[in-house]
Chains A and B, each alone.
Chain A
Amino acid sequence: MDDDGFELAACLEGVKRRDEQAARQLVERLYPLVIKIVRAHGSSRLAEEDLAQEIFLKVFSRLEQYRGEGAFEHWVARVAVGTCLNALRWQKARPELRWADLTDDEAQALTAGLEGDEIPADRAVAARDLVEKLLECLSPPDRMIIRLLDLEERSVEEVSRLTGWGKSRIKVRAFRARLKLKQQLRKLQKNGMP
């Protein structure tokens, strides 16, 4: 049992018995994890809730498949990542990012980065927003790989477990995605930097 009195095993049993109250508890419990994954995949704010709902329905319908091997949260994360990838498969990548697309703060964060300085802590939010814009230039699977590896600092093994993809596939995708990001940064620097 957790500090707040939540008992996962009892809750899962409740869901298997088709108890609506248990299902509600599980949704409330897992919402932060699921919404983090949904947001990490760059879906629009409007679609976030729909996607989260779809993930929970999948989790409930596949609950019998969870054998208790490994943490339940990891299993849910795997379902969530798979659902997000399927849902966003047809989402198009942004063709190009231009200097004019950046806010003043983002431009300053990028200038600091280009000049070789450490980006100050008060520019962290701007840096994050800029990174999000850069990631929009990638396809959803590439975006996810880079986010998991470079932003969440997960290992290739972890990413492999989450996505079900082989390690070499992940490494190749990450390499190509970083190449695209570097090209975007070069273009930004060459064409737009004031």
Chain B
Amino acid sequence: MNRSEEVWLRLAKAARKAPASGAVEAPFGFAQRVAARWKVESVEPAIAVWTWLGRQTIMSAAVVLAIMAALNYWLIAGAWSALSEATPLVELIPIL
């Protein structure tokens, strides 16, 4: 065992004899703060799930709407062109 090691061991031995520093009691209100934060944080994930589900629903609805619009495009466009080509209902009759 070299000298530095002996010094370290002597210091460690003396340090072990020192009384514990600082208070070991929880500071006033600490337990309440932790318990309250735990309650809030464990509720938050449930809210987050609902938020996530809501967002997913809106996104799915938007996708379905876009697909439906694409599928029915020709039908809608065809209807418009048919309307424009149709013979006018009112015929102007020249008076004399």
**Which positions in A face B, CB cutoff 8 Å?**
18, 20-21, 23-25, 27-28, 31-32, 35-36, 39, 49, 52-53, 56-57, 60-61, 109-110, 112-114, 116, 118-119, 121, 123-125, 127-128, 130-131, 134, 150-151, 153, 178, 181-183, 185-186, 189
How far is it, in angstroms, between the C-alpha of A24 and the C-alpha of B26 when the chains are bound?
11
User: Chain A residues near B41 (CB, 8 Å)?
Assistant: 57
How far is it, in angstroms, between the C-alpha of A49 and the C-alpha of B31 when the chains are bound?
11
Contact B17 A27 (CB under 8 A): no
Interface size class of B (residues with CB under 8 A): 35 or more
The answer to whether residues A23 and B34 also contact, given A31-B25, A36-B24, A110-B11 and a CB cut-off of 8 A, is yes
Contact B13 A20 (CB under 8 A): no
The majority secondary structure among interface residues of chain B is helix
**Which positions in B face A, CB cutoff 8 Å?**
2, 4-22, 24-27, 30-39, 41-42
For residue B19, give the distance in angstroms from its CB to the closest CB of chain A.
7
Across the interface, A31 reaches (CB within 8 A) one of B24, B32, B38, namely: B24
In this complex, the member of A53, A109, A121, A128 whose beta carbon has the largest number of chain B beta carbons within 10 angstroms is A128
Across the interface, B12 reaches (CB within 8 A) one of A52, A131, A183, namely: A131
